[in-house]
Amino acid sequence: MWREVLTYEDMEKVAFLKTDFGCALNYTADLVKNIIERKTDCHFYHYKSDKMELLKGYREKNGLINLIAYTLKADIKDYPEAIRLMGEHAKEYIKNREIKKLIIYFGSEDEEQMNIANIGVGKIGFSEFMKIVIEEYGKLGFKTIFDKKQVTNELI
């Protein structure tokens, strides 16, 4: 079940998760707290089950919802389910908002850089990861626009 990150203890847990499986080195609870307190419309959500642990962070900026955290810790065989859960959470998060566009990832034309930039994504490779995202998010009603610079999901 997804829970919003609100307590300092929660912030410590997600900081370790993001550092070990996401795209940040030396992420700290104080940094998470600072981001939540200082950024407009900024929220982190954590999911934990027997099979996986997920983290999503959203921030509204410039007419879009930007994903500021996208971390997954799971066995490769569980990636489709993990990505589906991430998509379901995104849909729930934006369905009642005016903004229906979600920037999943700001990227690079260098796929190897993308694999290094996010440990969870790099575990299966950015191209394979994107195939699963397009399929799973599509089932949820998202139109995915994917180019070498960013991934945009728009809820239709």
Write down the pTM of the prediction.
Answer: 0.89
Exposed (0-12), middle (13-18) or buried (19+): which is 96, by Cβ within 10 Å? Answer: exposed
Instruction: Give me the pLDDT at residue 118, please.
Output: 80
CA separation for the pair 76, 67 (Å, rounded): 22
pLDDT at site 79: 95
pLDDT at 26: 80
The per-residue pLDDT string of the chain (156 residues; one tens digit each, 9 = 90 and over) reads 899 999 999 999 988 888 877 776 788 899 999 999 998 889 999 999 999 999 999 998 888 898 888 889 999 999 999 999 999 999 999 988 888 888 876 655 677 777 777 888 888 988 888 899 899 999 999 998 877 677 778 888
SS3 assignment, position 145: strand
Q: What is the pLDDT of residue 24?
A: 67
Domains and CATH numbers, the chain: 2-155 (3.40.630)
List, in order, residues 6 or more apart from 38 with CB less than 8 Å away.
Answer: none
